[in-house]
Structure 1
Amino acid sequence: KTFSQSTALVRHRHIHTGEKVTCPDCGKRFSRSDTLRIHRRIHTGENLFPCAECGKSFTLSTTYLRHQLIHSSDKPYSCTDCGKSFTFSSALTQHRRIHTGEKPFTCSDCGKSFTQSSSLTAHRHTH
């Protein structure tokens, strides 16, 4: 593979050497320094992509672009129980748990269950 800049070559070599760069804030390790740079936005609160519709900001352009779909009127996924519509099939799947009572995310410490993985993650901080 060829590179126009030597810095790009050095960055690429990390993939082959197995060298990792470590986040100084949380210790998570990455094979690429640019991935670490993006990750560090979580700790710094740097949000480069604000939504003009609702004001919510995002650290990644891909997350921002996915979010933009929420503001469109195209919501092809509808709940057969209540008729509520969603932009993403994953949102419908999560919504259906209201009707089914399914709680697939269970705390390994106390056995409490949740409908969303984010709720379980928040709950784990109580232990």
Structure 2
Amino acid sequence: FTSLRISSLNRHMKTHSDEKPHVCHLCLKAFRTATLLRNHVNAHTGTRPYKCSDCDMAFVTSGELARHRRYKHTLEKPFKCSICKYSSVEASKLKRHIRSHTGERPYACYLCSYASKDTYKLKRHMITHSGEKPYECYVCQARFTQSGTMKIHILQKHGENVPKYQCPHCNTFIARKSDLGVHLRNLHSYMAVAIKCSYCEAVFHERYALTQHKKTHKNEKRFRCDQCSYACKQ
């Protein structure tokens, strides 16, 4: 890495360090730089300081704004493949594309010989080992390892009952637009006064995030005997 500015070099050098001195006062997550912390806190508070000059959209980070403008307005694809005519809005997508030329599969499963070009496909593959089925059909409650398999099931088995509206923030499907509005207000609207988790010190400004967080405490044995090693859930 080389740079014309010492500030850029200093920022780059932090990527080689494990030091994370900037701590979020809301969730205690730590970051390498003040900029990363500021972007993170903006996500907590719902602050979107980066406004698009071509439409009414606003974003938490400058990177999100730049990506939005390329996708929606300028249609610029600055990241170009040196081997073929492929070009991309994002550097990460170009990097993944180049692996289709090189055959590189850097993300390997530690349980079998499978390897992937990207982390998403590896994560999806790992579910086949765990037996986990995180995707549930909202009509018959059948469970699936992959969201694509679940969607095919819904179309084939319950096509006539498929609701029109899907929540943009979670996997909930809702039949009526008015009910979607209620769902968004109740679960996904920003709350100025944060709600504290009843099991730990974490706080949230969105009810859905709190609900999902509480699931991580589901199997905890929080009540311990002070005379022996016995512990129980309730």
Q: TM-score, normalised by structure 1?
A: 0.48
Q: TM-score, normalised by structure 2?
A: 0.30
Which one has the largest radius of gyration? Answer: 2
Higher relative contact order (CA 8 A, sep 6+): 1
